[in-house]
Structures are given as structure tokens and as C-alpha cells.
Structure 1
Amino acid sequence: MIHHNLTTIVDRPHWDAPPAWKLPEWVEPIIVASILVTSMIVTRRRDFKIFGGQSGGFRKSILDDPDAADSADDLLRYDRENEDDAQEPLAASKHLPKRRYCCGFLIYTPNSSRFANHIHSRILQKFPFLMEMFYWIITYAFYRLTIITSQAIFSKTGIWDVAQEHALEVLEFEQYGPLSFLFPITEVQVQQWFMHGHQTFLTVLNWSYALIHIPGTVGFIAWYYYLAPSHPTFATARRTITLINHLAFITFTFYPCMPPRLLPEKYGFIDSARHDDARSVWMSGKYVNSLAAMPSMHFGYAFCIGVTLIYHSGIFRRTLEKGEVRKPLIWKLVYVAIGLAYPTLILSAIVATANHYWLDALMAVLVTGVAFLCNRVYLIFLPLEDLLLWVLRIEKPIPSTGERFRQRGGRL
């Protein structure tokens, strides 16, 4: 229940900046598809042939090392928490069941290595980044279901009215709650600053909000798959972003929240995106959730990417990962600068364009922290993945994360 007057009288100046040129709807999907296909090609396993006899490119067995102290019994076991599934050839040749732990229980799952020479398995082995593309298709499909589920839950009360009430609760909390000192400048004041004399910058932010989110995140995933020092490090970032998605999706479903720009005019917000026609193809359509302000996935992604870039710079780390090369100071500073600038840009965009509240960004930081700490929860799905691969008669490819980059010297 709202107890304070949140209406605001603002000066609505004439919009001097001309509307930005609208991209055709097919451009954004082409950009995303181009990023994914390019990464798939760049990170392909060059010494592996799809057609023909057995090719190279597999990791050598430690049995090939005469000095190896490991026993053959150890080679026949799977790492219960290894999502790479980089089996030793001896284990693969025996097709032994995989040992997985799920919810504290030991589970034996089928070994799909017997299907390694199937054509679809060999395609995946040649282009292992296809697995990452598959993961993101599943995540996107899950997002599409949130609006359907949310509408069903609030069908009697009306999801639009519920979302508006939640939005006003957010404003009330920011301005009059016990943490109001964290929000000394209101979202309306930020947008008004841009509206009075800085409208061109606002147009830039409108398009930044609309166009950077999906291509930027997909581009980061592709870039880090190519550059990460190891697949476990890459997988940590990927699982964290995925968990950010799912935690946000759950919130969207049960706590729909209207973005500021959709509130009635009496609350002072201007739908600047409508003037610039700055709407991404990913922001419109039947299954897109327009009442998903809390938390801000835009800032959650950006914050996670920024932290990863700063970690990757190595500037705050005394030790490096195995195979990682110490970066020159100039590259450390570049990574840190981008790691700080990117979240700052997105934070400015989400508030100035009235697409999110300050609290949305703060909650996104908290969600990102929880996602990082709990990202390994996804390993409980490895048994399910094993079963799916078995049903499809596919052998999971060995990731090629960082291989091409290390072959080129690995000094960036």
C-alpha cells in the first residue's frame, strides 16, 4: 500500500533531437547469429576431421606417459563434477558408466562415448562451441515462458495493475524507505537532466539500452570462450550469467514490475524510447515480458561482464592459472577500463531512459553475487545431460576453450 505522494510535476521541453534511424528487424538476429557462427568457426578444432578415419585433437591419455603414477583404475572413473567430460581414451574405449553425484546420491549414467564416431558427434567435436549455442537456446526458451506463466498467475487480479502497484512500491522504498540514503538522486531527476540540453546523449543511451544487451552479452560469451585461460573458468562465468537469468526469470514471474516509462505521466517519467523508436526486436513480440523491471538483467549482465574483465586483467591477482600468460600493463589497464566503463554505461542507460529503477540495479548486483556463489548448482543437471546425449546418440565434445588463443601466443 502506497502512503506517500509520488506524483511529480516536471517540465516537458520540446524534443529537439531527431528520432534515430530505425534498424530493420532482421538486423539484430543477423548480428547475433554472425557472432555465434564466427565464434563457432574460430574455435573449431583444426586438427579434427568430420569425415574419414580417427583424427587427432583428443587429449592424450596419461598412459602414454611412462612416468605417470596414476593407476589404470583411476583412469576408468569420471570426475563427478567435471562438466567438460574430457575422458581418457581408455575410459572411453570401455564405455564405462559415468559416476555422477546428484543431491547427495551417487548415480550411474550411460556413457555416450560409444557414439563418438556418429556424424553428429563428430560435427560437435569439430565445432564444440555448438554446445554453448545449445545452452543459450534453452535459456532463451525459458525466458519466453515467463510472461505466459505470469499472466496465468495474475489472470484474476490483472497483471498490469499488479505490476504498477509493485513499481510504486519500489519508488516508495527508494524515496521514503530505510535505505533512501542510497538513492539521493531520483530517476526522474536523471532523466530531466538529459531532457534539458542533453537530448542527443539520451538518444545514444536509448539505442545503447535497446541494442547492446543481447549482442553484447552473446559477444562476451563468444569472446571469453576464445580467450579464457581454461574451460572451468569460462564455465564459471557462463553458469553465473545463466543463473542470473533464471533467478531473474523467477522474479519476473512472481513479482511483475512495471518500468518507469510505462507509469502514468503524473509520476514524471517520459517514454524516451518511444520517441527514438529505440526498441529492440528482443523487446517486442507476443512472448516478451515488458513488465520485467525487477531486477535489471541489463545491469546484471553488464556487472558480471565487468567483473569478469577485471578478473581477466590479472591486475588484482598474484597467481595465474595454468597456461595463462602475464599480460602487459597496458592490456591490464584496458581490461580494467572496459570492465568499469561498460557497467557504468548500462547503468546510465537503464535509469536515464526510464527502463529501470535504481533498486533494480542494486538487486541485479545482489542476484549476480548469489549467482556466482551458487553457480555450481547447475552441475546437478549433468545426469540429465548424460541421458539426453545417450538418447540422441551423441558424444559430448571436449571444449576447445582458449586453445586457438594459446596457439597464437596468448599474450592479450
Structure 2
Amino acid sequence: MGNVTVPDIGDSQQWNSRPAWKLPGWAEPVIVFLILFGAMFFTRRKNCAIFDRRKAYYTSLLDEPDESSRDSSDNESSSINLLSDDDLFTTTKNPPKRRRVCGCLIVDTPNTSRFRNNWHSRLLQKFPFLIEMFYWIINYAFYRMTAVLSQRIFAATGIWEVAQSHGIQVLEIEQFAPLIHWLFPIRERNVQQWFMAGHQDALTVLNRVYALIHIPGTVGFIAWYYYVAPNHAVFATVRRTMTLTNFLAFLTFIFYPCMPPRLLPREYGFLDTVRHDDAQSVWMSGKYVNSLAAMPSMHFGYSFAIGCTLIYHSGIFRKKLEKGEMRKSLLSKLVWCAFGLAYPTLILVTIVSTANHYFLDAVVATLYVLVSFGANEIFYVFLPLEDWLLWLIRAEKPKPTTGERFR
């Protein structure tokens, strides 16, 4: 593999505009809080009371008349069997759940329906979106640990040097790797130089897009999609896909730290536009931030998953509707499809022009999303753990409200 072509840095690489106005540090948390609070409000169960035990247990509009024939909205229903009344977590009235793990192993887990009238169960029943918030808090906690784990693994060699060598390696792969180098006819630095030469105001806007759209934008999508998805099974598939993409990316962050282009030595031709505009997201700063996690780009991974979801629901490429889905007009189909194409395109331009990611980062993120979609049901192996957690806190998992608005 050859050496990366190093460009001359001319006057076009110099800033001639002032740094952009910076959002106050409290702005992003407030935005995220408002999104989550709004999601809780709009997806709340209106005829379910937290403090009135008589109205605590709610029968969803989505329930079939025959409960014995109903599958759960997450396709996670399990057959049950009766054990002794003396068992630690079961009674004849509340027999245990029987979970199938990895398609073969049968595990009995506690039946938490006995806790449905506990106050926190009633709270979850009233605001079922709280469960989704819990899942994403776990995601964020795992991300915050990637920097710590990676630093420990590469403590002997020095993580900064390792990440820099990986960043240069990515550039070499894009330029010289057999079979795939043709995928990268445009160089990242050429994109940034185009913006620097007469389009710096646009680059400032893209810096803001990069900082604000990752967490608030993704949280906003999850909140919106929980409300508009035709049924919870479809929503859960998208959520599991994005979550598995996260964990695949986290593993890569730990074992393949990669320096973003903007942090490479200046002779490689990139400028740190984020530092100029002070456009670092408040969620991506602090003691445990992983600034050497360019590979893959989760900005693009999320946008690709969201774009595919919008294109799928446009209905242009399929005739069969999902359960609970309403048929769209031609104009509505075109609008959904246009947003599905425009959003990942905007993010791709953003991550490259701001020198936060390489083109290869977006390619790998795309592959991770596709793999995660095909294997998203792997998360079913955690159902027994979820059952035990709910039993330990004496709560029952709420029925989701996704899809109820169509009834």
C-alpha cells in the first residue's frame, strides 16, 4: 500500500470569517429534555391513572378479544407452565414465563403481572415511552465507557499514536486498496477545501448540524417514530437495528481507535473547523468522551437507518401495508422518500466537509446497519434478563402505545 498523497496548503485553507455563535452549554440538554418530555406526553395512556389503582391496569386498543391468541407487540410472547406455589417467583395465579433462548434453550423467568398495581408499574403504564428512554440511557452509558476501555488496551503503545496510524491507514485504503478504491473518487480534503474557498458560511452551518443533530436529532426520531409507527413490532425492529449498530460500533471504537481527519497532522491538508467554530456537542465532551472514534461514523449510521425507515414507509417500493399502516397519497409518498434520501445525504456531506469522518467511515457504518437489521432479533436473548430485572424492582413492563393513534 502506497503513501497518502499530501497536498500543498494554500490560502484557500485559511479562515476569513469569524467563529460562529456558540449555543449555551445548557441548550442541548434542554432540547433533549423537551423532546423526551414531549414524547412522554404525546404517547401517554390517557385513560390510565397513576394514583387510582382501579384505573391502573389498562387494556390496550390493540389487544385482540381473545388474549390467548394475541402476540405481544414486540413479538416477544412466551408460552408458560405452572410450577409449585412455593416457588420463589411464581404462584398458580401468576405462573412463570417460558423464554426460548437462541432457538433451543428454554428458560423459566418470573411473571411480573402480580406487580401491575405497584405505583411505579402504574407510572410505566401511563408513560410507556419511559422504557425506550431506559434503553437509550444504557446505550449512552456503554458509549461513555469506550474511551476508558480503549485507553487501557493501548496504554503501552499510546492510544493517540495508534489512532493516528489508523486514520492514515484509512486514507491509504481509500486511495490504494484493490477492488474498493474506486468507491472513493473524491478525497475528503477536496470537499473541505471547496467549502473553505468561498463557502465558509455553509461550512459553519454544517458544523452546527454535526454538533446538534446526532443526539437531539436521533432522540427526536425515536420519539417521533414511537408515535407514528403503525405498530410496535415495526418500531421495535428499527430500534433494535439502531441499538445493535451502536454496539458493533462501540466494539470498533474500543479495538480500532481511529483519529478523525481534523486531528491528523496539518500536512495531510485538513483543518479543525470544529475548534474554530467551537462546535463540539455538549454530549460529546467531558472526561469520558471518545474523540478517537471516527471509525465508523455513527452520525451516518443513524442517518442511514432513519433514511431507510422513511423510504420504507413511503410505500413507493412495496404494495403490502404493515399492520395498522394507512395508505399514502402519491404526494405523501414522494415527500417521505425525498426526506429519506436527503437526510443521509446531508449527514454525509456534513461529516466529510467538517473533517470529522472519512468516506470509509460511512461505508462501514452502512454495512453495520445492514448486518444489524438482519440480526436484530439477537436481542431476544436478553428477555430473561429483562424479566428478572423487572421482578427485582417489582414492576411490570407496560404495553406500548405505538399504533394506538390509528385506532
> Unaligned regions of 5+ residues in structure 1, if any?
408-412
For 2:152, give the aligned amino acid.
Answer: A
2:173 corresponds to 1:180: no
Q: Deviations over 1:201-240 (max 9, x none)?
A: 1111111111111111000000000000000000000011
Partner-residue secondary structure (3-state), 1:54: helix
Percent identity reads 61
Whether contact under 8 Å (2:78, 2:97) holds in the other structure is: no
- Distance in 2 (alpha carbons) for counterparts of 1:358 and 1:134: 32
2:235 corresponds to 1:234: yes
- Distance in 1 (alpha carbons) for counterparts of 2:359 and 2:311: 23
- Distance in 2 (alpha carbons) for counterparts of 1:80 and 1:265: 53
For 1:286, give the aligned amino acid.
Answer: K
Q: Deviations over 1:239-272 (max 9, x none)?
A: 1111111000000000000000000001011111
Whether contact under 8 Å (1:247, 1:367) holds in the other structure is: yes
Distance 1:176 1:92, change over 3 A: farther
2:168 corresponds to 1:168: yes
> Unaligned regions of 5+ residues in structure 2, if any?
81-89
Distance 1:120 1:336, change over 3 A: same
1:300 alignment partner in structure 2: 301
Per-residue deviation at 1:5? Answer: 4.4
- Distance in 1 (alpha carbons) for counterparts of 2:242 and 2:323: 24
Per-residue deviation at 1:3? Answer: 4.1
For 1:9, give the aligned amino acid.
Answer: D
Q: How many residues align?
A: 394
Whether contact under 8 Å (1:81, 1:100) holds in the other structure is: no
Whether contact under 8 Å (1:43, 1:403) holds in the other structure is: no
- Distance in 2 (alpha carbons) for counterparts of 1:316 and 1:3: 43
Partner-residue secondary structure (3-state), 1:166: helix
Whether contact under 8 Å (2:110, 2:388) holds in the other structure is: yes
TM-score with structure 1 length normalisation?
A: 0.91
Q: How does 1:308-347 map to 2 (within 5 A)?
A: 308-347=309-348
Distance 1:176 1:243, change over 3 A: same
Per-residue deviation at 1:120? Answer: 0.3
1:144 alignment partner in structure 2: 144
Whether contact under 8 Å (1:228, 1:401) holds in the other structure is: yes
Distance 1:387 1:23, change over 3 A: same
- Distance in 1 (alpha carbons) for counterparts of 2:380 and 2:366: 23
- Distance in 1 (alpha carbons) for counterparts of 2:91 and 2:129: 21
Per-residue deviation at 1:99? Answer: 1.0
2:84 corresponds to 1:94: no
Whether contact under 8 Å (2:73, 2:233) holds in the other structure is: no
1:82 alignment partner in structure 2: 75
Give the RMSD, CA atoms, in angstroms.
Answer: 2.4
Distance 1:79 1:283, change over 3 A: closer
Q: Deviations over 1:137-159 (max 9, x none)?
A: 11100111100000000000000
- Distance in 1 (alpha carbons) for counterparts of 2:346 and 2:289: 24
- Distance in 2 (alpha carbons) for counterparts of 1:120 and 1:204: 43
- Distance in 2 (alpha carbons) for counterparts of 1:144 and 1:61: 38
Per-residue deviation at 1:86? Answer: 12
1:371 alignment partner in structure 2: 372
Partner-residue secondary structure (3-state), 1:174: helix
Whether contact under 8 Å (2:74, 2:232) holds in the other structure is: no
Whether contact under 8 Å (1:85, 1:396) holds in the other structure is: no
Q: How does 1:4-403 map to 2 (within 5 A)?
A: 4-13=3-12, 14-55=14-55, 57-59=58-60, 74=68, 82-83=75-76, 94-103=93-102, 104-178=104-178, 179-403=180-404
Per-residue deviation at 1:79? Answer: 6.9
Per-residue deviation at 1:8? Answer: 2.0
Q: Deviations over 1:266-288 (max 9, x none)?
A: 10111111111111102211101
Partner-residue secondary structure (3-state), 1:256: coil
Per-residue deviation at 1:96? Answer: 1.5
Per-residue deviation at 1:325? Answer: 1.0
